[in-house]
Amino acid sequence: MVSVLNPAIATRFADRVPLAPRLSTLEGKTIYLVDTDWGGMQQNDGILEEIQKWFAQNIPSAKIIIKIKAGNFVTDDPGLWKEIAGNHGDGVVIGVAG
Amino acid sequence: MAVATCSRTLEQEYGIPTAPVSTLEFAAVLADDRRFHGVPLRFTYTPHPVAGMTAAVLRKYIEGTDPASHRSVTDEIIEALTKPLGEDERADTYVPVTRTGVRQALLEPDTEDNLQRLFYERGWTDGLPIILPTEERVGHMLTGTTHAPDEVVGEIYLHDTREHLKFTVEMVAIVGVMAGARPEHLPVLLAVASTGQPSIPGSTTPFATMLLVNGPIRNEIEMNSGIGAFSPRALANSVIGRAWTLLSINWGYFRLRKQFWTSQGNPIGYNNMCVAENEERSPWEPFHAQKGYEAHESAVSLFRGWNFINNVVGSSRRSIGEDMFTQLRPLPGLFSAATLILDPLVARHLKHDEGFQTKLDFCRWLSLNFKMPAGEFWDNDLIDMLMGPVAIQGVEPYATWKKLPKDALIAPYDKPENMNIVVVGGETSPMWKVSDFSHTVSASVDKWRAKPLADGCADGSCGLPDEPSNGAH
Q: Extract the runs of DSSP E, i.e. beta strands, from B140-274.
A: 152-158, 163-168, 208-214
* pLDDT of B50: 78
Residue A84 pLDDT > 90: yes
pLDDT of B162 strictly over 80: no
Which residues in B lie closer than 8 A to residue A74 (C-beta atoms)?
Answer: 2
Distance between B398 CA and the closest CA of chain A, angstroms: 13
| Residue A8: band (very low, low, confident or very high) from pLDDT cuts 50, 70, 90 | confident
Same-domain status, B75 and B122: no
pLDDT at B90 over 50: yes
Domain that residue B191 falls in = 111-304+440-467
- Is B160 found in the same domain as B65? no
What are the residue boundaries of the structural domains of chain A, listed by start?
36-61+70-95
Q: What pLDDT band is residue B314 in, cutting at 50, 70 and 90?
A: low
Judged against a pLDDT cut of 90, whether residue B126 lies above it is answered with: yes
Contact at CB, B81 and A31, closer than 8 angstroms? yes
Residue B59 lies in a domain: yes
How many residue pairs from chains A and B have C-beta atoms closer than 8 A? 284
What digits encode the pLDDT tens for the residues B341-378?
Answer: 999 999 999 999 999 999 999 999 999 999 999 999 99
Q: The complex's ipTM? A: 0.86
> Which of these ranges, B9-23, B37-51, B88-102, has the smallest mean pLDDT?
B88-102
Gap from A29 CA to chain B (nearest CA, Å): 11
The nearest CA of chain A is from the CA of B107 a distance in Å of: 6
Kindly tell me if the per-residue pLDDT of B210 is higher than 60: yes
Do B230 and B180 lie in a common domain?
yes
DSSP, residue by residue, B131-171: ---BHHHHHHHGGG-SS-TT-EEEEEEETTTTEEEEEEHHH
Residue A97's pLDDT is what?
A: 62
Q: What is the mean pLDDT of residues B41-52?
A: 84
Judge if B8 and B143 occupy the same domain: no
pLDDT at B470: 47
Measured CA distances, B5 to A71, B9, B26, B135 (Å): 14, 6, 14, 42
Greater confidence (B199 vs B163) lies with B199
B242 with B157, same domain? yes
Lowest mean pLDDT among A16-25, A48-57, B143-152: A16-25
Selection from B376, B372, B439 nearest residue B211 by Cα: B439
Q: When comparing pLDDT for B228 and B89, which is higher?
A: B228
Range in B54-58, B116-120, B367-371 with the lowest mean pLDDT:
B54-58
Stretch among A37-51, B108-122, B344-358 having the lowest mean pLDDT: A37-51
**What distance in Å separates the CA atoms of residue B210 and residue B162, rounded to the nearest whole number?**
27
Q: How big is the CA angle at A88 (ends A84 and A91), to the nearest 5 degrees?
A: 70
Q: Report residue B185's pLDDT band, with 50, 70 and 90 as the boundaries.
A: very high
Tell me if B316 is assigned to some domain. no
Do both B298 and B157 map to the same domain? yes
CA distance B158 to B162: 5
pLDDT, position B1: 55
Query: How far does the CA of residue B115 sit from the closest CA of chain A (Å)?
Result: 8
| Predicted local distance difference test score (pLDDT) of residue B204 | 82
Write down the pLDDT at residue B97: 46
Which of B2, B48, B83 minimises the CB distance to A38? B2
How far apart are the C-alpha atoms of B93 and B433, rounded to whole Å?
59
- Same domain? B44 vs B187: no
- Domain boundary (B64, B82, B100) is at B82
User: According to the 3-state scheme, what is the secondary structure of chain A?
Assistant: CECEECCCCCEEECCCCCCCCCCCCCCCCEEEEEECCCCCCCCCCHHHHHHHHHHHHHCCCCEEEEEECCCCCCCCCHHHHHHHHHCCCCEEEEEEEC
- The number of domains in chain B is 2
Give the β-pairing of B409-410 and B275-276.
unpaired
The confidence score (pLDDT) of residue B29 equals 64
Average pLDDT, chain A: 84
Contact yes or no for B323/B471 (Cβ under 8 A): no
At B51, the pLDDT band (50, 70, 90 cuts) reads confident
- Calculate mean pLDDT across residues A16-44: 80
Is B255 in the same domain as B182? yes
What integer pLDDT is reported at residue B472 of this predicted model?
Answer: 45
Residues B134 and B246 in one domain: yes
Predicted pLDDT of residue B471: 43
Hey, how many other C-beta atoms are within 10 angstroms of the C-beta on B231? Answer: 11
> In angstroms, what is the C-alpha Rg of chain B?
25
**Interchain CB distance below 8 Å, A14 and B53:** no
Clarify whether residues B123 and B225 are in a common domain.
yes
Q: What does DSSP assign to residue B128?
A: S
Highest mean pLDDT among B100-104, B206-210, B329-333: B206-210
Residues B138 and B248 in one domain: yes
Which pLDDT value is given to residue B464? Answer: 75
Considering only residues B345 and B469, tell me which one the structure prediction assigns the higher pLDDT.
B345
CB-nearest to B2 from A8, A22, A36 is A36
Last residue of a domain, one of B82, B99, B134: B82
Nearest to A22 among B10, B81, B102 (CB): B81
pLDDT in tens, B195-205: 999 998 888 88
